[in-house]
A and B are shown apart, each in its own frame.
Chain A
Amino acid sequence: MELKMNEWTATPEHLRRLAQNGVLTSAALERALRVTGVVPGVVEWRRFLSNLLLLMGSLMLAAGVIFFFAYNWADMGRFQKFGLVQVALLLAVMTASYVGLDRMAAKASLLLASFLVGAFLALFGQTYQTGADAYELFLGWAALIAGWVLIGRFSFLWMVLLALLETGYILYWIQALEPTWLTKKYLFLFESLFAMNLVALVLWELLASRGVAWLEDRWAPRLIGSAAFTALTIPMVIVIFGDSYGRQDLFPGALQLLYVLVVALTGWFYQRAKQDLFLIAAAMLSVITVVTVYFAKQIGNNYGGFLLLALVVIGMASGGAVWLKRLSRTGEEAR
C-alpha cells in the first residue's frame, strides 16, 4: 500500500522537499530539523566536543609517541625508551580501568594503548634488529591487543584489530609464501581475505541481531562487507582473464558457484532479514564489474561491441538503482 505524503516520516530529505515546495520557510525548516534531532542542540554539541577533544587528543598523543620512536633518538638509551613507552602504556590502561569501560574516555584510552603496543613492538624491532618480517609485527600486535578489544566494546577498536590481522596476513603471503602472478596460490590470498571478512561480517550481524547495543552502528559492517566484496571480485576478474594466459586451470567452478551464492545470500539477507541497501548496492556493483569484464573479454577488439556493452552497463546500473529505490521506499513505509 502506498503511503500518502503526510504519513511519511520527517526525514531531512522530505523536510527539504517541503521547503523547496514552499510549505516550510527557512526558520520552519531549521526548527523542524532541530525537533527531529538532525541539527544538534547544546547538549549534543557538548557531547560531540567532549568526544572530539578526547579522540583527537588520543590520536595526536599516539601519533606523537610513534613519531618519537621513529626518530630513533641516539642520545636516549634503550632502557629509557622502553621505559617511556611502557609507562605511557601503563597510564593508558590504568586510565581505562579507572574510569570504567562503559565510558568514552576508557575506550579512547584503550585505543591509545593499542597504538602504543605497535610503537613498543616497532621499538623492540628497531633496538634488537631481530630480522623478523613485518607480518610478524602486525600479527603479534593483533594478538597482544585482542584482550582489550574483547573487553572494550568499541567498534572502532574491532576495526583496528581486523585491519591489523588482514595487513599481517597479506604481508605473510607476500613475504613468506611469495605467490607468483596468476597461480592458484595468488587467487587463494584473495579468497581467504574474503573468508576472513565474511566471518567477521556474519559474527557482527549475529551479535547485533541479539541486541548488542554497541554493534548497532552500520559503518563497520558496511566497511567489512565492501572489503569482502572487493576481495571476492578480484579473483573473479582474474579467472575471467586467466585463460588468455593459458591458465585454464584457474577456472575453478567452485569460485563462480561461491560468488553466485554470496550475491544471492547478500540480496536475500539485507532485503529480508536486515534491511541495508548499502551492502546490496556493493553486491550489485561487484556483479556489474564481473559481467562487464566478462563481456569485454568476449568482445575483444570489436568496437561495435563496446557500444552494446556501454548500454548493458547503464542498463544494469539503472535497473539496479530502480530496484534499490523501490526497496528504500518499501523500507520507509514499513517503518
Chain B
Amino acid sequence: MKRTLPTLASLLDQLRAEGLVADGASVSTPPMNASQADQGTPGFVRAMVAMSAWIAALLLQGFFYGANLTRSWESMAVVGAVLCAASVVLQRKGKHVLFLSSLALALSFTGQGMLIAGLGSHMRSATLVAFVVMVLNVGFLAVYDDRTMRFLSTLAIIGASFAIVLDNHIPYGIQLMTLLLAGGSAALWMSEPDLATGNLAPCYRPVGYGMVVGLFSCLMPSVMPGYAGPHFYAPYGAWITAGGLLAVLIYFEYRLLLEHALLDDRRVAAAVFIGTLLLAYPARRMPGMIAAIIVLLLGFRRGNRTLMGFALAFLFVFISAYYYHLGLTLMQKSISLMVAGAVLISLRFALVTVLGQDEEVSHE
C-alpha cells in the first residue's frame, strides 16, 4: 500500500508541536541557487541531460579537430583551458536556463578532454596527468554549482588517485583507497542531516554518490581473472580489503543497533553479527560483496533508493564474478556459498522466531 505524504505545512505543525521547529518558522520560498533549482529534477532527467551533453562534447571535439585546433599540444591545452573557464562562466550566468547550463556541461566535458589530452601528450607521465586531472576537478567541485558535474568531478578525482597509486606501484595503495572510500561514504551518508543543514548542503549528495561509485570502481579489478598481479594487489590484498570492509560494516551495524536500542537484546545482536561474519566468509576473496552490503544498508538507513540500486547492481556483478575467481576451485566456492546461504536462511528464521515478527506479506 502506498503511503500518502503530508503537506509541508501540516508536517511543520507537527514538528512545531514536538518542539523541533521554532514557533516563528514558516515555509518560505527564498530565491533558489542553482543546485536548489535543480532539486526538483528527477535523477533520470539529469542523467538524460548529462548523456546528451556527453554526445554534444564528442561532436564539439569533432568540430575543434576539423577546425585544426587539435594539431599541437599547445593549441589543444589552450583551447581546452579556455573552454573550461568559459563553461564555469556560462554555468554561473545561465544557471536558470537549462539550455545554457547543458551547453556549459558539454563545454566543460570538451574542455577537460582537450586540456588533459594536450598536456598528456606533452608530459608523457601518467602521474603528472593524473595530478592535473585531480587539480582541475577539485576546482570544478568548488566553483561549478551543478550536481552532475560534482558527481563526475568526484569520480575523476578518485580515478586520478587510482592512476597515481598504480603508476607509482604504491604498496597497498588500492586497499587504503578502498577502505578510505568505504569509511568516508559511511560517515558522509550517516551525517546527512547535519550536512543538509550546513554549508556543504549543495554538494554532499553528488560527492556521496561519486564516492560510492568510486568505491565499487576501486573494487572492480578484484573481479577480473588474474587480478592478483603485483601492480594491482599486493600479497593478501584481498584479505586486507575484506577485513577492513568487514570492520566498517560491523561498526555501522553497531551504530544502527545502538540507534534503535537493540544492542541490549543479545539474540538480535548475535544474529546480526553472526550473519555478517558468515557473509564475509565467501566474500573474503571477493570484498566487493561486503562493500555492496555496506552501501545497501546505508541506502536503507537513509531511505535512498539510488544507493540501494547501486548496491544491488554491484552485488550481482560481484557474486557473478566470484564464479571466475582463480584462487579457489569451483567446489570450494560452491561449499562456502551453500554453507553461508543455508546459515543465512536459518538465521532469518531464528530472527523471526526470536522477535516474534509477523512475516511480511509481499503485496503489502
B-binding residues in A (CB < 8 A): 5-33, 35-42, 45-54, 56-65, 67-68, 70-71, 73, 102-105, 107, 153-154, 213-214, 216, 277-278, 281, 284-285, 288, 292, 296, 301, 303-304, 306-307, 309-311, 313-322, 324-325, 328-329
- The interface residues of chain A lying within 8 Å CB-to-CB of B55 are 288, 292, 313
Chain B contact residue count (CB 8 A cutoff) = 97
Q: Contact: A65 with B49, CB < 8 Å?
A: no
Given A18-B27, A60-B341, A328-B42, do A40 and B303 touch, yes or no (CB 8 Å)? yes
User: Which B residue's beta carbon lies closest to that of A95?
Assistant: B345
- The interface residues of chain B lying within 8 Å CB-to-CB of A70 are 323, 330, 334
Q: Does B187 contact A (CB under 8 A)?
A: no
Q: Does B267 contact A (CB under 8 A)?
A: no
Q: Contact: B7 with A46, CB < 8 Å?
A: no
How far, in angstroms, from A73 to B323 measured CA to CA in the complex? 16
How far, in angstroms, from A53 to B60 measured CA to CA in the complex? 50
Which listed residue, A8, A50, A105, A318, touches B98 by the CB 8 Å rule?
Answer: A318
Given A45-B256, A105-B359, do A303 and B63 touch, yes or no (CB 8 Å)? yes
Given A18-B27, A318-B102, do A50 and B319 touch, yes or no (CB 8 Å)? no
Q: Does B142 contact A (CB under 8 A)?
A: no
13 A-B interface contacts by CB (under 8 A): A9-B6, A9-B7, A19-B201, A37-B3, A53-B351, A57-B345, A57-B347, A64-B341, A65-B334, A68-B330, A71-B334, A306-B60, A321-B102
Given A9-B7, A281-B44, A324-B45, do A314 and B359 touch, yes or no (CB 8 Å)? no
The residue among A22, A45, A105, A306 with the most chain B CB atoms within 10 A of its own CB is A306
- The interface residues of chain A lying within 8 Å CB-to-CB of B25 are 23
Question: In terms of DSSP, what is the predominant structure of the interface of chain B?
Answer: helix
How far, in angstroms, from A15 to B18 measured CA to CA in the complex? 17
Which listed residue, B39, B99, B302, B343, touches A17 by the CB 8 Å rule?
Answer: B39
Q: Which of B283-319 contact A (CB under 8 A)?
A: 296, 300-303, 319
User: Beyond the given A29-B196, A320-B48, could you list 17 further A-B residue pairs with CB under 8 A, ordered by the A residue number?
Assistant: A10-B11, A20-B36, A26-B194, A28-B15, A49-B351, A53-B345, A60-B337, A102-B362, A103-B359, A216-B2, A288-B55, A303-B65, A303-B66, A307-B59, A310-B60, A311-B56, A328-B40
How far, in angstroms, from A207 to B69 measured CA to CA in the complex? 57
How far, in angstroms, from A58 to B56 measured CA to CA in the complex? 45
Q: Contact: B20 with A25, CB < 8 Å?
A: yes
Nearest Cβ distance between residue B261 and chain A, in whole angstroms?
Answer: 8
Q: Does B352 contact A (CB under 8 A)?
A: yes
Given A6-B7, A314-B53, A328-B40, do A71 and B357 touch, yes or no (CB 8 Å)? no
Nearest Cβ distance between residue B101 and chain A, in whole angstroms?
Answer: 8
Given A39-B303, A50-B348, A57-B348, do A8 and B338 touch, yes or no (CB 8 Å)? no
How far, in angstroms, from A161 to B29 measured CA to CA in the complex? 49
